[in-house]
Structure 1
Amino acid sequence: MPGKLGYVIFLLLVSSLVSGCWDNWEIEERGLVLGLGLDLASGEARDFPGLEGSISQAEDESRFYALTFQLPIPAAFGGGNGGGGEQEAFWNLTSSFPGSAEEIRGLAATRSSRKLYFEHLQVMVIGQELARQGFYPVLDRFLRDREARRQVQVYITEGLARDVLAVKPKDERINATYLSAMVQNADVACRIAPAMDLGLISRKIHENGAYVIPKVTVAGDDAKLAGGGVCKGDRLVGWLGEEETAIYRWIIDRVEGGSIIFSVEEQGMNLVDAYRPVTSSTRIRPQLHNGQLQVLVKIKSEGDLVERQETVDVLTAESLEQIRAAVEAEIEKQARLLIEKVQREFQLDIFGFGEEINRRYPKVWHEIKDRWEEEFFPFLPVEVQVKLDLRRIGVKR
C-alpha cells in the first residue's frame, strides 16, 4: 500500500510534465489532502496551534471550528522504499476560524506552498466535542465540493480528530491510508462497525436518521478501530462498546467474520470456547398482536468451532448439542442486552425496526412514524431467536 500511494503521487507529478496543466492547476502546486480532521476549537481544543480567529469573534463558541489537513510530502516518495531513516511521508496542517469551514481552508493556504485539493481525500475523522454539538455545518462545505468524493470513509473519536491524524503507523507511510484501510478488516474483526462514507452520512442527516459511525481511538503509538458512535442526524448521542458493536452487526445482518466467545460447563469446569460464523442471516419480522406491535429478530448461522479449552478432543452428540445451545444462548443474550440498552439509553432505532414495520404495515407506520422513537421504539417488545448449525469442530492434528 505505501508503495502504491507513492506510485500514484509519482504519476501525478510526472503527468504534469507531460500535459503541462490539469484543470488549470499545475500538479506540483497541488496539496493533495488525504486525511481531514474536524474538531471544535474550544474547551480542551483551545491549545490548537495556528488559531487564526479569537473566541470573541464567534457569536457562538460552539461554532469555532478547527480543521486538520493531512498532506503527503512528495520528496519522501522520490527514491525507493528506504529503511528506518527515511523522510517523514506526511505532515498535518491545523487551521481554525469562527463559523466558516471555507474560510479555514483559505487560512490554511496562507501557511502552505500548495493549493489544497480534495479529490484524493481518503478519510475524515470527527472529534467528540464537535460531534456532540452537531457537525453538519462543517460537513456541508465538503458535501458541496465537487472535488471531495462521497465515498470518503468517516470515523468518529472520543478525543480530538487531530490526535488521530498525528499517529505515525508502522505498516503504512501515510496515516490516512492506514486509517482508511482498517475498516476492511471487519471480515476478521467484528468489533469494527460497518463502514460509513460521506454520502451515506449525508443521507442519514437529511433523513434525521439514527446510525452508527466507526469509532477510532489513539492507543499508544497506534490507532484502534473498534466500537461505534451512535448518532441522530448530525449529533453524537452515545457510544457502543466493542462487544456491543460486534453483536450490533449480527442484529442488522452485517456479519462478515470474527467470532463469538462462549462458555460451556464440562467436567465441573467452566470452559471458554470460540465459534466463528461462516454464513449468517438475520430477518427482522414485525408482528401485530391484538393491535400491539412487536418485533421478532431471527438469526441463523452456520459456522465452525475454532477453539476449545478441553484437553480431551472427543465430542459426543450430547456435547455437540450442548456447545450449539451455548452459542445460541450467548448470541441471544448479547443481542437482547444491546437492544434493551439502546431502547433505554439512546431511544434511537439504529436497527432499522421502523423500516421493516413500514414495509410490512405501511398504514400503521404512517400513523406512528412521527412519534416512533419518542413513544413507540423505547417500549417495543422484541424477541430474539437464534438457530445455529455447527459445520466443523476443528479436530486437533
Structure 2
Amino acid sequence: MPARLTASELRTCLGDGPQTFAALLTGRSGIGALRHGEPSALNVTHGYHLDDGAARAFAASRWVADCARRAIATAGLDPRRRRMVALVGTGLRELAAVEAYATGGPAVPAHRLHFGDAVRAAVPGLSEVVTVSNACSAGGHALALAEDLLTLGDAEAVLVCGVDATTESMLAMIGRVVDRPTDAVRPFDADRQGVLLGDGAAAVVLVPDDDPRPALARIVATGLSCDAHHETAPSVSGIARAMRDALTRGGRNPSEVDLVVAHGTGTALNDPAECEAIRQVLVAGGADPLVTAVKGATGHTSGAAALVNLDVAQRCLAAGRVPPVVGLRRPLPEGTGLRFATTTTGYAPRLVQCDAFGFGGVNAVTLVEAP
C-alpha cells in the first residue's frame, strides 16, 4: 500500500535539505581534503565531510538523532500518543567509535553500535527502534519495511532514518581498488575514477496513504531484490528485478517513470550496470526518463544514500527543477541514448524512481510522486 511522506530532514556535507538541494542546483560539490586517516597509507586523499566540531566517535548517532528530532517536529507527531516505530538504515553502524577504541579511546558497549539509544533520546515515546545494517541500500530497505508496517497496521506512523560516518576501515577498502587516489566522484562519466565516502544522515516520516495531514510526497512503492551475485560487483538482472518489483507493487507502467535519481557511484562496474538496467526496464517499457545523481556533490553516504535520493526527488517534484549530475563531463559509452541532466533543468516530473544498490546485491528502488 502506498504511504505519505510528511517530513524529510537531511545532513550532508552541503548542509540541511534545502541547503543541499540549492547547492545541487548550482552544481556545487562538497568535496574537500581528507580529514581522517593518513592519505598516503589509505590511497585516499579526498572526502565529502560533515564537521560538527565534535569527536568522530558516535558522530553518526549525533547526526541521525538530530535529523530524527527535526523530522518528528516537522511532521507534528507525538509518538507518545501514536503508535510509532523507528527504523534506522546503515552500512557501517558506529564503526568509527570502534576504531577510536582500537587506538586508545573508551570501550564501546555493544548496544551503542546500533542507534536505539540515540534515536529514543531524541524522540521519546517510540514503540521500537530497529537498526537495519544492509550496506548502501539500507535506507531503501528500511523504507520498504516501513511501508509493510503501515500496510499491516503494525504502526500508525514510521520514522525512517539512514546514517553513516566516514571510517578509516572503509577508506582503506576503497583505496585498495584504485591505482591512484580518486580526486572526485564523477557519476556516469567516461573518465570516472571511483567512489569516495560522504558523511550523511537523513530521517523521513511515513504515515498511511489515507492520513489527512499535509504531505511532501506520496511513496508509491519500494521494490527489493537480494541477488547475491557477487560480494561487490553489481548484477544487471538483480537491479532490474528491483525496478520491476517497485513497478509491480505500485501498479505502474515503466513508461510512467520520467525522472530517475540514480545510485550513480562513479565506479567502473556500477554505472554501466545501472545504465543497462534502466535501458532494459524503463526504456524498453516506453520511458525516456531524465537521469540525475547526487554523489558527485555529496559523496557516497552509504546507509543514508537512499533517503538522500528520496529527499532530492521530493524537492524536484515540488520545485519543478532537476539538478545536474555534478562531475559528469563526458557520458560513458554504456549510457548512450539516456538523457542525463548536465545542467539544472526546468522539469515537472510526475513519477520519480530513486535507486539504491548495495554490496552483495541488496537492491532497493522507490517510486515517488506528488502528494
> For this structure pair, what is the TM-score category when the shorter chain's length is used for normalisation?
under 0.3
The structure with the largest strand share of the pair is 1
The higher-RCO structure (CA 8 Å, 6+ apart) is 2
Give TM-score, length-normalised by structure 1: 0.26
Larger Rg: 1
Give TM-score, length-normalised by structure 2: 0.27
